[in-house]
Chain A
Amino acid sequence: MTPRTPAADPAPPRTRSPRWQVLSWQLIGLALILGVWWLVTEGLGLYPPYVFPSPAQVWTEISYGLWGTGPQDGKLLSALAGSLRRVLTGYGIAVVLGALVGLLMGAWRPLRAALGAYLTGIQSVPSIAFVPFAILFFGLNERAVLFVVILEGFIPVALAVSGALLNVPPALRIAGRTLGARGLSLTTGVLLPAALPNVLTGLRTAWSFAWRALVGAELLISGVASIGEQLEVGRATANVALVLASIIIIGIIGGLFDTLLRALEGRVRRDYGLEVTP
Chain B
Amino acid sequence: MSGGRSAPATTATTPQGLPLLLDGVTYRYGRTRSATAPAGLGPLSLEVRAGEFLCVVGPSGSGKSTLLSLLAGFLRPQAGVIRLGDTPVTGPDPRLTLVQQEAALFSWRTVAGNVSFGLEQRRLPRAERDGRVGDALRLVGLEGYGGRRVHELSGGQRQRVSLARALALQPRLLLLDEPFSALDDRTRTVLADELLGIWWSRKVTVVFVTHNLEEALALGQRVVALRGGEVALDAPARELDVARLRETLE
**Contact between chains at B100 and A171 (CB < 8 Å):** yes
Closest to B162 in A: A175
Q: Which of A11, A178, A181, A274 has the most CB of B within 10 A?
A: A178
Out of A1, A189, A271, A272, name the residue touching B121 (CB < 8 Å). A189
**Contact between chains at B121 and A185 (CB < 8 Å):** yes
Does A124 touch B at the CB level, under 8 Å? Answer: no
Complex CA distance for A196 and B107, rounded to whole angstroms: 11
What residues on A are CB-neighbors of B118 within 8 Å?
A: 179-180
Does A172 touch B at the CB level, under 8 Å? Answer: yes
- Per-residue CB contact flags for chain A residues 170-198 toward chain B (1 = under 8 Å, else 0) read 01101111111110010001100110100
Complex CA distance for A169 and B97, rounded to whole angstroms: 19
Does A273 touch B at the CB level, under 8 Å? Answer: yes
**Contact between chains at A271 and B108 (CB < 8 Å):** yes
Does B228 touch A at the CB level, under 8 Å? Answer: no
Give the total of A residues in contact with B, Cβ under 8 Å.
33
Complex CA distance for A14 and B149, rounded to whole angstroms: 11
**Contact between chains at B156 and A6 (CB < 8 Å):** yes
**Contact between chains at A6 and B150 (CB < 8 Å):** no
Out of A3, A8, A180, name the residue touching B122 (CB < 8 Å). A180
If A6-B142, A272-B107 touch, whether A178 touches B97 (CB-CB below 8 Å) is: yes
**Contact between chains at A194 and B104 (CB < 8 Å):** no
**Contact between chains at A3 and B108 (CB < 8 Å):** no
Does B152 touch A at the CB level, under 8 Å? Answer: yes
CB distance from A248 to the nearest CB of B (A): 38
What residues on A are CB-neighbors of B139 within 8 Å?
A: 1, 3
**Contact between chains at B152 and A178 (CB < 8 Å):** no
What residues on A are CB-neighbors of B126 within 8 Å?
A: none
Contact residues, A226-278 vs B (CB, 8 A):
271-274
**Contact between chains at A12 and B152 (CB < 8 Å):** yes
What residues on A are CB-neighbors of B153 within 8 Å?
A: 11-12
CB distance from A172 to the nearest CB of B (A): 5
What residues on B are CB-neighbors of A48 within 8 Å?
A: none
Does B131 touch A at the CB level, under 8 Å? Answer: no
Complex CA distance for A8 and B162, rounded to whole angstroms: 19
Does B190 touch A at the CB level, under 8 Å? Answer: yes
Complex CA distance for A6 and B139, rounded to whole angstroms: 12
**Contact between chains at B102 and A171 (CB < 8 Å):** yes
What residues on A are CB-neighbors of B198 within 8 Å?
A: 1
**Contact between chains at A180 and B152 (CB < 8 Å):** no
If A6-B141, A11-B157, A12-B154 touch, whether A174 touches B108 (CB-CB below 8 Å) is: no
Closest to A7 in B: B141
**Contact between chains at B152 and A3 (CB < 8 Å):** no
CB distance from B41 to the nearest CB of A (A): 18
Complex CA distance for A169 and B103, rounded to whole angstroms: 12
Complex CA distance for A141 and B104, rounded to whole angstroms: 51
- Per-residue CB contact flags for chain A residues 33-69 toward chain B (1 = under 8 Å, else 0) read 0000000000000000000000000000000000000
If A171-B102, A180-B92, A271-B149 touch, whether A1 touches B201 (CB-CB below 8 Å) is: yes
Does B234 touch A at the CB level, under 8 Å? Answer: no
**Contact between chains at A181 and B157 (CB < 8 Å):** no
CB distance from B188 to the nearest CB of A (A): 11
CB distance from A200 to the nearest CB of B (A): 12
**Sample of 19 more A-B contacts, CB < 8 Å, known A177-B74, A177-B92:** A1-B139, A1-B200, A6-B141, A9-B187, A11-B152, A12-B151, A12-B152, A12-B154, A179-B117, A179-B118, A179-B165, A180-B92, A180-B118, A180-B122, A180-B169, A271-B107, A271-B149, A272-B108, A273-B151
The 10 closest A-B pairs by CB, nearest first: A273-B151, A179-B118, A1-B197, A180-B121, A4-B141, A171-B104, A9-B156, A175-B104, A178-B98, A272-B107
Q: 26 A-B Cβ contacts within 8 A?
A: A1-B194, A1-B200, A3-B138, A3-B140, A3-B143, A5-B141, A6-B157, A9-B157, A10-B154, A12-B151, A175-B105, A175-B106, A178-B97, A179-B169, A180-B122, A180-B169, A189-B120, A189-B121, A190-B106, A194-B107, A194-B108, A272-B107, A272-B108, A273-B107, A273-B151, A273-B152
Give chain B's interface residues, CB within 8 Å of chain A.
72, 74, 92, 94, 97-98, 100-102, 104-109, 117-118, 120-122, 138-143, 148-157, 160, 162, 165-166, 169, 186-187, 190, 194, 197-198, 200-201
